[in-house]
């Protein structure tokens, strides 16, 4: 049962008939500009102008209304006043149009009349299935078909890069620059206000689009975090995605209840999202354009090590400086490469990277240098810089660069500085789709952006499995009771003891704590713990205890404890008179001779939900500001990468006689915190500061948690997460009549070998029924696709028996959400030896239940007409069986999940 049907946005991206409402002879109007672009494309479909005031427009027959059109349009482009939109959209829906691109500007959400207009448009579109682009959109272009329904000035050349942008102005600027620099596009989409079609929907189409090899995006804001991240992850698995986002952060930090809230801002959260999604962020328009230019070439770098060849020392230094800024390595060449260059180059060459050929560099010197550097195993890419000199021949060097680029597996970038002398060489390289620039900085920036894509791909491919599947599970219920108790008392800030209790419920190692309401009780607790101890004020009204004199450390005996208790009460009352003081917290000093003070925090981004921060801890945490952030859920590799991005990571290694801190303990704490925020949506923020780590382990010395009422869940268990964690709760154990135990669970990346063995073991008929071809095994790409999945948009349940070593997969059932969002398409395969034993029925039942709980309403599938066994199972499960309108050899099966109540009879 294969997946794949026509995408719902096909009529927007690939229309055969376009109606232009507001078509005009006035090229200064939006309707006139679009008409000019469509005629100039030229559009290879049918263009139908709509204008009630004119019988003809630009020599074409015009129609008064959409209802008067002789044929049904795929796309309606609307370039009229805002007040006309509801009626036009209603009319477009009534005649069965597939999509409408609303170019009308001036629509916001502040004024009541605009709200009414937008509400009417949305209601009409949702009821009819009409897809909307805009309002406030520059339009859409698809050069392969001549579609240019935009009112920009520049033509749009055909290429392999797709451009998605929220800003019509930036879209227009990119197209204008691209027209002179030889960059072509597969699609250009100006999203505007994203009333309906947004980044997620457009990315879904472009991910499957054969004409699109890479994607560049300009983002101002994200409305639906889960849909955005899910679509971006799916796209970046297949194609490079580069993002420019405006609004990098607020002008200044606002006060926050926890340190982490002040440290991890919205922009850092967005960076973390892009890293985890496998996309790359650039800093500005020039970098975005440079990346678009690079992506239009056929090269993909696999590292950050760059070799620079130049005939001018200054440009070489410029390239190295920018490479350093971008985190690239312009490192030493190998001894073999140096020796090779010594044999081929004049004695005065630089003997280093950059390879400076000096001002009298002839083309043959470039040939030798480029060839040797590309052979160097320590080089991932090459930048050739040419400055016009009396002895140089830019045209000849351009030919050498072209030849090298055609042969090399590594990317080759050309930088021809100047204007008059390099005009023709640049034009020749543009024609070959080779990335060329006229200054070193953008050339380096382009390489850095796409090199970052390779690095982020490693993060994208991490699909964290269940942390506690083979260990003692966390006490989620107990932790939730502590939080609910505080919320029931009207408190949002947990005390230190409550916070540590929640952490301990998730098996985080914490320093013990006791609450004392008087000095005698404090001394008693200290005696029980053993000296030295620390005293901290216990007050629901005080967040940062040390700021009000509420912390005393390293107390050595009972007298010091008594004095500290009294001083804490006095100092806190003086500094914060209205604060409620409920005694002090007594805890043993986390004395670790080789201890490092670290910080782990959680903050909640308003769009993307929980974000985990790691960095240097201690009192100066906000001043030092050494931290990195990541999106949960984490696994070992992701936790390690989070730590490695900080400066404090260097102090965790052995140095100056100190043994290395236990990285496994630090990573384990990060994983447990990740599990905590995944399972308990009520957590608003969390400070673990300090986390004391040494060679023996890591222990939480102090912690503070802020909580909120999580409210009812509408989309499922992990709706508060931008990335859906591994669905541990779907794991089931089935006992079979023959005594064998079958485990049903969601697939994980480490199941790849077992999945491949399962497919190889299927009979030829079973493989054909599942994949509709005679394949013998899954390709590497298919194997990754089937095992490294996004649990938000798809699910694969496997049935595993444990008869021997290794385990054996005996069945798999999976669904994938369709672009309609409330519908999913399924497929199932059962090992031949298990046919007729009820495993397919049980597995399909579990898959349908999971899909229903996810909020999906309809499940569909496509079964070969002669697969009678599968058709019988579908009928038995209540699926409607009918013809497939696209393929007479297939049957379409459909089930309403909202009425599914489980198996009607035992398997």
Q: How confident is the model at residue 303 (pLDDT cuts 50, 70, 90)?
A: confident
- Determine contact, residues 646/616, Cβ cutoff 8 Å: yes
CA separation for the pair 261, 19 (Å, rounded): 50
Rounded to the nearest integer, the mean pLDDT of the chain is 88
| Tokens, residue 393 | 């021949």
Which parts of 819-903 are beta strand (E)? 823-830, 858-864, 880-883, 890-896
Q: How confident is the model at residue 532 (pLDDT cuts 50, 70, 90)?
A: very high
| C-alpha closest to that of 160 among 142, 173, 146, 139 | 142
Instruction: Look at 18-27, 481-490, 801-810, 859-868 and tell me which has the smallest mean pLDDT.
Output: 801-810
| Tokens, residue 505 | 């419920």
Q: How confident is the model at residue 905 (pLDDT cuts 50, 70, 90)?
A: very low
| C-alpha closest to that of 449 among 299, 318, 324, 283 | 283
Q: How confident is the model at residue 108 (pLDDT cuts 50, 70, 90)?
A: low
Does the pLDDT of residue 826 top 80, yes or no? yes
Taking residue 408's Cβ as centre, other Cβ atoms within 10 Å add up to: 17
Which pLDDT does position 664 carry in this prediction? 94
Could you write out the DSSP letters of every residue in 860-883?
Answer: EEEEETT-HHHHHHHHHTT-EEEE
Instruction: Look at 348-357, 396-405, 428-437, 637-646 and tell me which has the smallest mean pLDDT.
Output: 428-437
State the average pLDDT over residues 67-79.
Answer: 96
DSSP state letter for 264: S
Q: 314: part of which helix (H) or strand (E)?
A: helix 313-325
Which pLDDT does position 569 carry in this prediction? 94
For residue 131, the cross-strand partners are 99
Does the pLDDT of residue 3 top 80, yes or no? no
Determine if the peptide bond prior to 575 is cis (ω within 30°). no
CA separation for the pair 632, 613 (Å, rounded): 10
Assign residue 54 a region: left if phi > 0, alpha if psi is -120 to 50, beta otherwise? beta
CA separation for the pair 299, 667 (Å, rounded): 36
Classify residue 339 by burial, with Cβ atoms within 10 Å: 0-12, 13-18, 19+.
exposed
CA separation for the pair 63, 47 (Å, rounded): 11
Instruction: Look at 46-60, 536-550, 626-640, 754-768 and tell me which has the smallest mean pLDDT.
Output: 536-550
Sheet with 306-310: strands ordered across? 355-356, 306-310, 381-386, 412-416, 436-437
Residue 493, phi then psi, degrees to nearest 5? -105, 120
Instruction: Look at 165-169, 287-291, 373-377 and tell me which has the smallest mean pLDDT.
Output: 287-291
Better pLDDT: 9 or 460: 9
- Determine contact, residues 721/632, Cβ cutoff 8 Å: yes
Task: Give per-residue pLDDT as tens, 397-410.
Answer: 999 999 998 888 88
Which pLDDT does position 221 carry in this prediction? 86
Which pLDDT does position 467 carry in this prediction? 65
State the average pLDDT over residues 140-163.
Answer: 92
Classify residue 487 by burial, with Cβ atoms within 10 Å: 0-12, 13-18, 19+.
middle
Classify residue 387 by burial, with Cβ atoms within 10 Å: 0-12, 13-18, 19+.
buried
State the average pLDDT over residues 123-136.
Answer: 92
Does the pLDDT of residue 46 top 90, yes or no? yes
Does the pLDDT of residue 574 top 50, yes or no? yes
Classify residue 612 by burial, with Cβ atoms within 10 Å: 0-12, 13-18, 19+.
buried
- Determine contact, residues 103/77, Cβ cutoff 8 Å: yes
Task: Give per-residue pLDDT as tens, 776-791.
Answer: 788 877 887 888 888 9
Does the pLDDT of residue 2 top 80, yes or no? no
Which pLDDT does position 78 carry in this prediction? 96
CA separation for the pair 457, 462 (Å, rounded): 9
Which parts of 253-305 are beta strand (E)? 280-282
The bridge status of strand 280-282 relative to strand 241-245 is parallel
- Determine contact, residues 60/1, Cβ cutoff 8 Å: no
Task: Give per-residue pLDDT as tens, 210-242.
Answer: 999 889 999 988 888 888 999 998 888 888 888
Q: How confident is the model at residue 846 (pLDDT cuts 50, 70, 90)?
A: very high
Task: Give per-residue pLDDT as tens, 710-753.
Answer: 655 545 678 899 998 888 889 999 888 887 889 999 998 889 89
Task: Give per-residue pLDDT as tens, 499-527.
Answer: 999 999 999 999 999 999 999 999 999 99
For residue 325, the cross-strand partners are none
DSSP state letter for 724: P
Which pLDDT does position 457 carry in this prediction? 75
| C-alpha closest to that of 261 among 603, 682, 624 | 603
Does the pLDDT of residue 42 top 90, yes or no? no
Which pLDDT does position 783 carry in this prediction? 84
Taking residue 616's Cβ as centre, other Cβ atoms within 10 Å add up to: 21
Which pLDDT does position 508 carry in this prediction? 96
Does the pLDDT of residue 259 top 60, yes or no? no
Radius of gyration for the chain, computed over Cα atoms and rounded to the nearest angstrom: 32
Q: How confident is the model at residue 27 (pLDDT cuts 50, 70, 90)?
A: confident
State the average pLDDT over residues 145-169.
Answer: 91
Which pLDDT does position 803 carry in this prediction? 77
Classify residue 906 by burial, with Cβ atoms within 10 Å: 0-12, 13-18, 19+.
exposed
Please count the CA atoms within 13 angstroms of the CA of 595 that sit on its side-chain side: 18
Does the pLDDT of residue 79 top 70, yes or no? yes
Q: How confident is the model at residue 906 (pLDDT cuts 50, 70, 90)?
A: very low
State the average pLDDT over residues 205-214.
Answer: 91
CA separation for the pair 549, 561 (Å, rounded): 15
Classify residue 577 by burial, with Cβ atoms within 10 Å: 0-12, 13-18, 19+.
exposed
Measured CA to CA in angstroms, residue 273 lies from 444, 541, 670, 681, 817 at distances of 24, 34, 18, 19, 22
Measured CA to CA in angstroms, residue 36 lies from 53, 363, 704 at distances of 19, 46, 62
């Amino acid at each position: 049962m294969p997946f794949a049907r026509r995408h719902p946005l096909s009529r927007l991206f690939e229309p055969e008939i376009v109606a232009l409402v507001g078509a005009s002879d006035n090229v200064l109007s939006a309707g006139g500009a679009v008409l000019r672009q469509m005629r100039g494309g030229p559009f290879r479909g049918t263009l139908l102008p709509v204008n009630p005031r004119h019988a003809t427009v630009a020599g074409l027959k015009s129609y008064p209304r959409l209802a008067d059109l002789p044929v049904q349009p795929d796309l309606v482009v609307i370039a009229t006043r805002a007040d006309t939109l509801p009626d036009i959209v209603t009319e477009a829906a009534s005649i069965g149009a597939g999509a409408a691109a609303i170019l009308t500007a001036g629509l916001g959400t502040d004024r009541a009349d605009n709200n009414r207009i937008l509400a009417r448009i949305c209601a009409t579109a949702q009821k009819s299935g009409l897809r909307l682009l805009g309002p406030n959109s520059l339009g859409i272009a698809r050069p392969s078909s001549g579609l240019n329904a935009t009112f920009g000035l520049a033509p749009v050349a055909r290429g392999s890069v797709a451009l998605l942008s929220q800003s019509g102005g930036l879209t227009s600027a990119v197209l204008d620059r691209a027209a002179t620099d030889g960059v072509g596009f597969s699609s250009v989409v100006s999203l505007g206000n994203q009333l309906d079609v947004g980044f997620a929907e457009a990315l879904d189409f472009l991910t499957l689009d054969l004409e699109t090899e890479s994607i560049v995006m300009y983002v101002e804001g994200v409305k639906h975090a889960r849909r955005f991240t899910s679509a971006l992850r799916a796209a970046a698995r297949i194609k490079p995605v580069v993002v420019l986002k405006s609004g990098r952060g607020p002008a200044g930090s606002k006060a926050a209840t926890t340190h982490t809230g002040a440290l991890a801002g919205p922009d850092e959260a967005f960076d973390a999202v892009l890293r985890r999604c496998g996309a790359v962020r650039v800093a500005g328009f020039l970098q975005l354009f440079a990346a678009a230019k690079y992506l239009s070439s056929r090269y993909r770098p696999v590292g950050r090590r760059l070799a620079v060849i130049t005939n001018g020392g200054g440009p070489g230094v410029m390239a190295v400086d920018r490479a350093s800024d971008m985190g690239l390595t312009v490192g030493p060449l190998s001894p073999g490469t140096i020796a090779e260059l010594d044999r081929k180059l004049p004695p005065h060459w630089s003997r280093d990277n950059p390879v400076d050929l000096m001002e009298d560099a002839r083309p043959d010197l470039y040939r030798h240098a480029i060839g040797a550097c590309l052979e160097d195993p320590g080089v991932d890419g090459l930048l050739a810089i040419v400055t016009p000199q009396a002895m140089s021949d830019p045209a000849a060097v351009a030919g050498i660069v072209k030849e090298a680029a055609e042969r090399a597996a590594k990317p080759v970038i050309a930088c021809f500085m100047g204007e008059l002398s390099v005009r023709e060489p640049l034009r020749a390289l543009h024609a070959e789709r080779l990335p060329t620039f006229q200054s070193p900085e953008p050339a380096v920036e382009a390489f850095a952006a796409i090199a970052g894509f390779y690095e982020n791909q490693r993060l994208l491919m991490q699909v964290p499995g269940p942390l506690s599947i083979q260990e003692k599970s966390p006490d989620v219920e107990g932790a939730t009771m502590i939080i609910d108790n505080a919320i029931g008392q009207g408190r949002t800030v947990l005390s230190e003891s409550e916070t540590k209790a929640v952490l301990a419920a998730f098996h985080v190692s914490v320093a013990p704590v006791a609450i004392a309401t008087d000095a005698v009780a404090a001394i008693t607790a200290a005696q029980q713990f053993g000296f030295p101890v620390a005293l901290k004020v216990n007050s629901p009204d005080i967040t940062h205890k040390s700021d009000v004199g509420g912390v005393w450390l390293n107390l050595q005996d009972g007298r010091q404890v008594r004095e500290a208790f009294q001083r804490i009460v006095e100092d806190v009352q003086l500094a914060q008179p209205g604060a409620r003081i409920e005694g002090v917290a007594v805890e043993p000093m986390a004395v670790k001779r080789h201890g490092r003070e670290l910080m782990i925090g959680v903050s909640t981004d308003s769009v993307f939900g929980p974000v985990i921060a790691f960095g240097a801890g201690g009192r100066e945490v906000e001043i030092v500001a050494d931290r990195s952030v990541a999106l949960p859920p984490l696994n070992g590799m992701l936790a390690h990468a989070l730590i490695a991005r900080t400066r404090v990571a260097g102090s965790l290694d052995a140095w100056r006689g100190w043994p290395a801190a236990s990285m496994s303990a630090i990573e384990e704490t990060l994983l447990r915190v990740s599990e905590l925020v995944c399972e308990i949506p009520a957590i608003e923020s969390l400070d673990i500061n300090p986390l004391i780590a040494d060679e023996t382990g890591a222990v939480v010395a102090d912690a503070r948690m802020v909580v909120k009422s999580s409210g009812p869940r509408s989309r499922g268990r992990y709706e508060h997460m931008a990335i859906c964690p591994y669905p541990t709760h779907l794991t089931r154990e089935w006992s079979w009549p023959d005594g064998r135990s079958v485990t049903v669970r969601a697939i994980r990346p480490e199941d790849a070998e077992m999945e491949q063995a399962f497919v190889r073991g299927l009979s030829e008929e079973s493989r054909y029924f599942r994949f509709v071809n005679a394949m013998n095994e899954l390709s590497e790409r298919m194997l990754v696709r089937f095992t490294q999945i996004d649990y938000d948009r798809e699910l694969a349940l496997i049935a595993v028996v444990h008869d021997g070593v290794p385990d054996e997969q005996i069945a798999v059932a999976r669904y994938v959400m369709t672009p309609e969002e409330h519908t999913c398409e399924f497929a199932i395969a059962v090992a031949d030896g298990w046919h007729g034993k009820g495993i397919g029925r049980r597995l399909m039942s579990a898959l349908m239940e999971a899909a229903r709980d996810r909020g999906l309403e309809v499940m569909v599938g496509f079964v070969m007409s002669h697969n009678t066994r599968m058709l019988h199972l579908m009928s038995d499960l209540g699926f409607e069986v009918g013809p497939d309108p696209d393929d007479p050899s297939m049957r379409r099966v459909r089930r309403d999940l909202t009425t599914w109540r489980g198996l009607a009879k035992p398997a």
